[in-house]
Structure 1
Amino acid sequence: MLNKRIGVLALGVLSATQVMAQSQADSKGFVEDSHLTLNLRNAYINRDYKDTPSSAQDPAEWGQAFMGTFSSGFTQGTVGVGVDAFGYYAVRLDGGKGRSGAGGIDFFKQGDSGQAADDLARFGAAVKARISNTVIKYGDQQPALPVLSYDNGRLLPESFTGTYITSQEIENLEVVAGRFTSEVRKSATGHDSGGLKSINVWGAKYKFNDAFSAAYYAADNEDSGKKQYVNLNYVFALPQDQSLTLDFNGYKTKLDRDYAAADDARDNKIWSLAATWAVGIHSFTLAHQRSSGETGYDYGGYKSAGSYGDGGNSIYLANSYWSDFNGKDERSWQVAYGVDLSGLVLPGLSYKTAYVRGTNIDDGVHDGRGEEREIFSQLTYVVQSGPAKDLSLRLRNSFLRVSEDAKGYNREGNETRIFVDYPINVF
């Protein structure tokens, strides 16, 4: 999963002050600050698993989505109020019976017959209020925190229902707290389709200066477990258009007894440290990730399907692509290269490739001898001007290979993703 990668949290911390700095005193009004956007997304994912019979069809889904998002401004006065809303509609273009149903794709949920739905529609809204630099929102939302992060890497995104507070009363400090009581599965419509009971989240991020930022978040997921997260990010400015970024991410998880596969397999600690050297249009990354404890790092999925249920993107770790390299006792190394091809080939064109190798995997059967490796590549193009301005094309591919003594942990195969997004700013 590449929705959160090396440096993304750092960018979020550095920009949070600007994004949320507007106080209630600066409100222009409910209508004057309103925005409506429409995103047209065409998405395709194919997974060629190597452990399935040659006669079986590869899991694959293809669909077209129409996603409208409305965000009002806040009314003027001491307390400003507003409304956020979204409406989604998706049509299945391919991936019917025999090809749909892969948990990692999940564009359209299968019915009792095994046939995927032909289409689906979803609507949601939230009311919000602002006092000074503090905003409270209740309703359907899409939180993006390391311990509760919605997945927007498929055809339609997930959403959660609950109460969420963000406060930035102190300069460079953002504090958050929330409670969510239901989750909408990305391939379904019902508010209880994810099976979430409740999850409480809280935390803060602070920008010490232009170079150093830090964050801490925690969550208590009912009948799943408790999770803590920490991030430290430092950017060394170097001469001649260069920089070196060090990014540390770490999780500590304690699973509930009723959720853990075994009573003594409840604890996990996992961390990653990435160093990225940027020079001109090039970036070079070296990262190490390590998991320890009685079990691997658990996240995402849906409670209704027996999974953890904290959002499909709740893994802010360096070595997370198709595989997350998060097995029990797994240790992994990554080397990656990225280049901005705007000035060489075409404005808006960029490319990234990475190689990750994981070892020491304990799949519960072979006592820590398992290995896996992944070659990842992604080509991205964003139209820079004209009628199709901001239209993006993303071509992504992964080759994942897993040793025989780690097959209880992961499946090997080849994955292809093709995403076309066309955002339209209506007003």
Structure 2
Amino acid sequence: MKKAHLFLAMSSLLSIQTFANPFIDDLSMSLTTRNYYLNRDFTDFKPIAGSKDWAQGFIFKINSGYTPGKVGFGLDMQTLTSVKLQGDSKYLGSGLLTTDAVTRERADTASEIGLTGKMKYKNTELKVGTIQPWTPVIFSSPSRLLPQTFRGAIIQSTDVKNLELTAAYIDQVNHRDSTNNEDLSNIGFNGRFQSAKTDHFSMLGAKYNLSPKTQAGIYYGIAKDLYNQAAINFKNTYAIKDDTQLITDLRLWNSRDNGEAKAGKIDNSLITANLGLNHQNHTLTLSTMQNYGDTAHPYLSGGEVLIFIDGWSTDFLNPNERVYSVRYDYDFKNYIPGLKFMTRYTKGKNIHLPHLGGNHLKEDSLDFDLQYTVQTGRLKGLGLRGRYAHYDNNFAQNASFKPANETRINIDYTWKFK
């Protein structure tokens, strides 16, 4: 079946050469290779050692241009392939490789093909098929070997100056460690909600540039019979001096159950505030995240939430959780161009999970990130990245998030053929 899809895609690309040149002339082709090692070593859980996998990923993309005329048509194709280098069934799946839910056996290789038809009128573009939205209410997670993709339609328009409008309808998801489309469902970490499926997710959004340094956005998403979610964000960069900037990033989500409420009651308001001071090569950021309401913050399974406080071993989104974080970034551009360092400490407290130990639980994480991108020569663009996190909590043993030492190493390189 996959071969048939590939043949159909290539036949379509070749047959459309009869159109005028833009369809072919504007075509782009690239291959991204990603070598990824992830080891989440549980420090206080005896039955299972943790999660550990090592894999090689390949992301091959062909993006056509548009046929000539007032309305242009095009076709994109993306193939995703994973190859197991190391993966033992005594460990939980890490999200890098396709893994059997019962035996925990990893697939030696796995591949998938995504096709996207597209249509463009002026600065309004419609895509149908495999899509990767990037909004506060739904986005395609890129944090594993291969990206999460969705099946549906998305339309984006920038015809109005400084304004970007987005609308989407999605009915299936292809997870980062899967090769097939599945029904959408909500996340059920730590037993915060009942796990339930939804027929579709729809959303509307708008982002406006008040100035080159100031942006504001508003979004609304509906997961049928699960929840409604509104999101507002604001970001401003203020120049104190030529080499010193104050960065303000505020985000608010409000979520309520809808329809049949298959996941149970949902009642959450999430507020995040980030204040960063950038001086030359240094950036210091103070952040807080506050969960209000009777439940945790809901989001779709297999994905993440677009928050600045991005825990690798947890999500810091439990009921009533109060989160505080301090982060420091340093860019070595004056000494070793392409080398960057980050460290942060994040603490969450006042967590309300009676079934996992109480109403005043806590968690914290100390993270380190070192990355280098080759700047010149034949290997220009080669990315090397190492991350380490020490995560701890006082939840019960059956919690989804367990105390762990986590190491991630990945090597990325993209060849651009056209």
- State the TM-score, normalizing by the size of structure 2: 0.87
RMSD (CA atoms): 2.0
Contact residue 249 and residue 316 of structure 1 kept, 8 A: no
Q: Answer yes or no: is 1:137 the counterpart of 2:137.
A: no
Residue number among 240, 244, 247 corresponding to 1:245 in the alignment = 247
- The answer for the alignment partner of 1:260 in structure 2 is 263
User: 1: distance between equivalents of 2:49 and 2:326?
Assistant: 33
The alpha-carbon deviation at position 227 of structure 1 amounts to 1.0
| C-alpha distance 405-369 of structure 1, shift in aligned 2 (>3 A) | farther
Within a 5 Å distance, the mapping from 1:190-339 to structure 2 comes to: 190-192=180-182, 197-256=199-258, 257-261=260-264, 265-302=265-302, 312-313=303-304, 315-322=305-312, 323-339=314-330
- The answer for the alignment partner of 1:378 in structure 2 is 369
The alpha-carbon deviation at position 156 of structure 1 amounts to 1.1
Q: Answer yes or no: is 1:97 the counterpart of 2:126.
A: no
Residue number among 130, 133, 149 corresponding to 1:159 in the alignment = 149
Alpha-carbon displacement from aligned partner over 1:160-203 (angstroms, at most 9, x marks no partner): 11111111111000101110111112212122276662110111
Letter matched to residue 74 of structure 2: G
Letter matched to residue 77 of structure 1: G
- The answer for the alignment partner of 2:8 in structure 1 is none
The alpha-carbon deviation at position 56 of structure 1 amounts to 4.0
User: 2: distance between equivalents of 1:331 and 1:407?
Assistant: 22
- The answer for the alignment partner of 1:396 in structure 2 is 387
User: 2: distance between equivalents of 1:351 and 1:360?
Assistant: 31
- The answer for the alignment partner of 2:333 in structure 1 is 342
The alpha-carbon deviation at position 112 of structure 1 amounts to 4.9
User: 1: distance between equivalents of 2:30 and 2:340?
Assistant: 25
User: 2: distance between equivalents of 1:113 and 1:335?
Assistant: 40
Q: Answer yes or no: is 1:43 the counterpart of 2:31.
A: no
Q: Percent identity?
A: 28
User: 2: distance between equivalents of 1:96 and 1:405?
Assistant: 26
Alpha-carbon displacement from aligned partner over 1:292-334 (angstroms, at most 9, x marks no partner): 11111122325xxxxxxxxx13x12232222221111111111
User: 1: distance between equivalents of 2:239 and 2:398?
Assistant: 43
The alpha-carbon deviation at position 406 of structure 1 amounts to 9.9
- The answer for the alignment partner of 1:80 in structure 2 is 72
User: 2: distance between equivalents of 1:297 and 1:406?
Assistant: 22
User: 1: distance between equivalents of 2:350 and 2:400?
Assistant: 12
Contact residue 92 and residue 108 of structure 1 kept, 8 A: no
The size of the alignment, in residue pairs, is 384
Secondary structure of the 2:359 match is coil
Residue number among 2, 23, 36 corresponding to 1:30 in the alignment = 23
- The answer for the alignment partner of 1:180 in structure 2 is 170
Unaligned runs of 5+ in 2: 1-19, 186-197
- State the TM-score, normalizing by the size of structure 1: 0.85
Q: Answer yes or no: is 1:149 the counterpart of 2:142.
A: no
Q: Say which is worse superposed, 62-71 or 292-301, in terms of deviation.
A: 292-301
The alpha-carbon deviation at position 255 of structure 1 amounts to 2.8
| C-alpha distance 279-98 of structure 1, shift in aligned 2 (>3 A) | same
Alpha-carbon displacement from aligned partner over 1:78-107 (angstroms, at most 9, x marks no partner): 1111111101111111113112435xx352
Residue number among 352, 359, 362 corresponding to 2:352 in the alignment = 362
Contact residue 100 and residue 116 of structure 1 kept, 8 A: no
Contact residue 50 and residue 92 of structure 2 kept, 8 A: no
Contact residue 100 and residue 108 of structure 1 kept, 8 A: no
The alpha-carbon deviation at position 223 of structure 1 amounts to 3.2
Letter matched to residue 268 of structure 2: N
User: 2: distance between equivalents of 1:96 and 1:404?
Assistant: 27
Contact residue 363 and residue 409 of structure 1 kept, 8 A: no
Contact residue 141 and residue 161 of structure 1 kept, 8 A: yes
User: 2: distance between equivalents of 1:106 and 1:422?
Assistant: 18
| C-alpha distance 407-101 of structure 1, shift in aligned 2 (>3 A) | closer
User: 2: distance between equivalents of 1:280 and 1:340?
Assistant: 9
The alpha-carbon deviation at position 221 of structure 1 amounts to 1.0
Contact residue 154 and residue 169 of structure 2 kept, 8 A: yes
| C-alpha distance 117-408 of structure 1, shift in aligned 2 (>3 A) | closer
